[in-house]
Amino acid sequence: MGLMESSCSRASLVRELQKHLENTKEDNRRLDEELKRIKDDNTFLRKGKDEAEQRLGNLMYAKMYDNNPAIADLSDQYGPAKLSEQFSRLYYNEWNSAYDYLQTLGFTEREIVEILLELIMESNEFCACKLEETWAFVQHWFLVMDSSSVETIKDLKDGRKQKLIDKVPKIQEEFYEHVRELFINNTRLTEVFNSTPLEVYINECIRCCLMMNACDPPVIIEIPGWKPLKDRGVKFETSVHNYTTEGRGRKSMSSFQPTTQEPGQNTGNNHHLTSDNNQQSSVSTRGQKQKPADDTAFVDDRNKMEEIGASKRTIMEESIVKVTFDKTKFREYTCRGEYVDFFVWPVIYLYRNGELLDKGVAQVINR
């Protein structure tokens, strides 16, 4: 009897142990599933954290670089510093070749400097307007201007800069059409622009100016008081350049290299694009067409006109404000002096009102 009871107790204990073991296995299985879920959640959260940190880093990077010239990307071959070097080479190489070519055609020093300066400044104005128009279109149709779009804006500007390299030939051709319209009434210049030295010079002007305006913010070139021809409301052959100091004595030179000629000498012809002689000739021609029958009266009238013209020229010369030569922004061209006679090459800045990247060039005089 006692043996049977003992056997039943052991069987009951075995069943309880088996049941406990099954419960333990179930708990372990449930805990394993919970552990797996926790691990999966942890992996998901860690991934989300890494992505958030990456987005934050990109956002901080974009905000730091966006429109911030103080941070230079040294790997960018079209960064402001490298573009400044290319712009200087343009003056010493292509500008020099174009100058020599124009001199062989009989243009005077002042005419050549004026033509080449107009071309570089008009190139820059053309490129700036072209990029401003395309960016305004993108902003109007595709961008929401808030903090969330900073990365997008940075990517678009970087992509635009890379894509522009392929667009340079197209922009160059568009600028040629623009130049032909500007100088449509000057047959001599339109023919000159088709020459190889001028084509090389113009193409390099467009390439440099396009890439400078694609920087963020744009690299700036400046001639004090310069305005585009369209804003002056005049054609090139009759333009009055209010960024020069007309009316004072000029020095000419027989080549691009500095020479020691006396004031008033002229090595070229009299085809001045902005000379007062052309205007006087035009007035005289119009007077001859309306010549009265009485020669004496005509001579008296012409003398009065000449006296009035001389008086006006004297007043204009006296009213000219001498521009003091700023050695911090410009280098002398062929002479040393205290006042600016005319500008030859623009000064270049890191951005508008920003740090000077390279000096410009100006012809100076002492009177």
pLDDT digits (tens, 9 = 90+) for 213-234: 999 889 999 999 999 988 886 5
Overall average pLDDT of the 165-190 stretch: 88
Which one of 158-167, 226-235, 309-318 scores highest in mean pLDDT? Answer: 158-167
The region of weakest confidence among 15-24, 134-143, 265-274 is 265-274
Confidence at residue 104, expressed as pLDDT on a 0 to 100 scale: 95
Kindly give the pairing relationship between strand 339-345 and strand 220-222. Answer: unpaired
Mean pLDDT of the chain: 75
Alpha carbons 91 and 344: distance in angstroms, whole number: 10
Residue 298 has pLDDT above 70, yes or no: no
The single-letter code of the amino acid at 95 is: W
Overall average pLDDT of the 90-98 stretch: 96
Query: Considering the entire predicted model, what is its pTM?
Result: 0.62
Confidence at residue 138, expressed as pLDDT on a 0 to 100 scale: 84
What is the signed CA dihedral for 306, 312, 318, 319, rounded to 10 degrees?
A: -160
Overall average pLDDT of the 118-136 stretch: 94
Overall average pLDDT of the 301-309 stretch: 50
pLDDT digits (tens, 9 = 90+) for 9-34: 777 878 888 888 888 888 888 888 88
Confidence at residue 315, expressed as pLDDT on a 0 to 100 scale: 41
The answer to whether 332 touches 364, Cβ cutoff 8 Å, is yes
Owner of token pair 């204009």:
316
Confidence at residue 183, expressed as pLDDT on a 0 to 100 scale: 81
Overall average pLDDT of the 291-295 stretch: 41
239: Cβ contacts below 8 Å, ≥ 6 apart: 229, 232, 273, 274
Q: What 3-state class would DSSP assign to 15? A: helix
Q: Please, which pLDDT band fits residue 70 given cuts at 50, 70 and 90? A: low
Residue 217, preceding peptide bond in cis (omega within 30° of 0): yes
Residue 91 has pLDDT above 50, yes or no: yes
The region of weakest confidence among 35-44, 166-175, 276-285 is 276-285
Q: Please, which pLDDT band fits residue 148 given cuts at 50, 70 and 90? A: low
Owner of token pair 């100006």:
362
Token digits for 337?
């002096």
Confidence at residue 312, expressed as pLDDT on a 0 to 100 scale: 44
